């Protein structure tokens, strides 16, 4: 099915590893033009090559720390300067270290979690609103999390993702009159599909078992109606639907759980 995303100008934050990589691959298969913004330049360059092999019309890598002032604007500017605008923003940059709320007392950890998960989404959204308003259309997709609804060992992380949901819905209300749609995808647990799916700066670089081991995954699956974990490809499919004006022209401010039914918000 033609989603109307051929040559679409797409900015994906945190696009080098795991979910972000899957999203970049999906837009590539549609023939989109992609700005891949990530702190891990080496991994981003690898994914850029993969995207071109999968059919991307063009790929631009913008390497930098999106928590630094001006970096999100630089990424958006690359799309505008190179292709004349931005059609889609995917706010995917994220990071977490699981921990019980009573034990996670590291304030630096809290700050890093807030800055990567929430501040980057604010900055990237603000960076694309101007170009999208000028062209009278645009789609912003925020990658939140099932943890936004309250999950064990995800207190601080979940709080930042709940903030992302509020930001997305406010954006939808404020900018719908400009033709800008804003929606949220909440993935379930997405385990990287192999070592090539993550770079050295990914939260998964410490090893899968140090982030979410098999016993924890099985515990989660007991409450998952479909009985399987979510893949990066699953998440990317929802993102493409929301990015496509052809498929979701009248969809804004909505939240989609892609978790096999683990939550049903």
The residues assigned a catalytic role are 157
Residue 62: phi, psi to the nearest 5?
Answer: -120, 105
Sign of the torsion formed by the C-alpha atoms of 102, 103, 106 and 112:
negative
Dist CA 26 CA 40 (whole Å) = 20
Pull the structure tokens for residue 201: 């700066």
Residue 176: phi, psi to the nearest 5?
Answer: -60, -35
Dist CA 20 CA 38 (whole Å) = 9
Dist CA 116 CA 58 (whole Å) = 26
Dist CA 52 CA 159 (whole Å) = 36
Dist CA 229 CA 190 (whole Å) = 7
Dist CA 190 CA 225 (whole Å) = 16
Of 156, 167, 205, nearest to 91 by C-alpha is 167
Dist CA 178 CA 136 (whole Å) = 5
Q: Which residues pair with 230 in a beta bridge?
A: 190
């Amino acid at each position: 099915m033609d989603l109307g995303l051929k040559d679409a100008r797409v900015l994906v934050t945190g696009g080098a590893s795991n979910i972000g990589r899957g999203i970049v691959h999906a837009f590539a298969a549609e023939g989109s033009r992609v700005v891949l913004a990530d702190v891990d330049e080496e991994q981003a360059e690898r994914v850029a090559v993969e995207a071109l092999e999968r059919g991307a019309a063009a790929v631009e890598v913008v390497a930098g720390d999106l928590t630094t002032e001006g970096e999100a604007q630089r990424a958006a500017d690359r799309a505008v300067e190179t292709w004349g605008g931005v059609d889609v923003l995917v706010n995917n940059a994220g990071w977490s270290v699981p921990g019980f709320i009573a034990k996670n007392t590291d304030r630096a950890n809290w700050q890093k979690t807030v800055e990567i998960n929430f501040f980057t989404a604010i900055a990237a959204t603000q960076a694309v609103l101007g170009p999208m308003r000028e062209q009278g259309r645009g789609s912003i997709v925020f990658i939140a999390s099932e943890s936004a609804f309250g999950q064990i060992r995800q207190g601080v992380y979940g709080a930042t993702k709940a903030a992302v949901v509020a930001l997305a819905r406010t954006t939808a209300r404020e900018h719908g009159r400009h033709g800008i749609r804003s929606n949220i995808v909440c993935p379930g647990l997405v385990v990287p599909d192999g070592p090539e799916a993550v770079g050295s700066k990914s939260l998964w670089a410490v090893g899968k078992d140090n982030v979410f081991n098999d016993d924890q995954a099985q515990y989660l699956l007991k409450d998952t109606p479909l009985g399987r974990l979510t893949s990066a490809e699953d998440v990317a499919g929802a993102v493409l639907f929301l990015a496509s004006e052809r498929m979701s022209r009248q969809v804004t401010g909505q939240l989609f759980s892609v978790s096999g039914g683990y939550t049903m918000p």
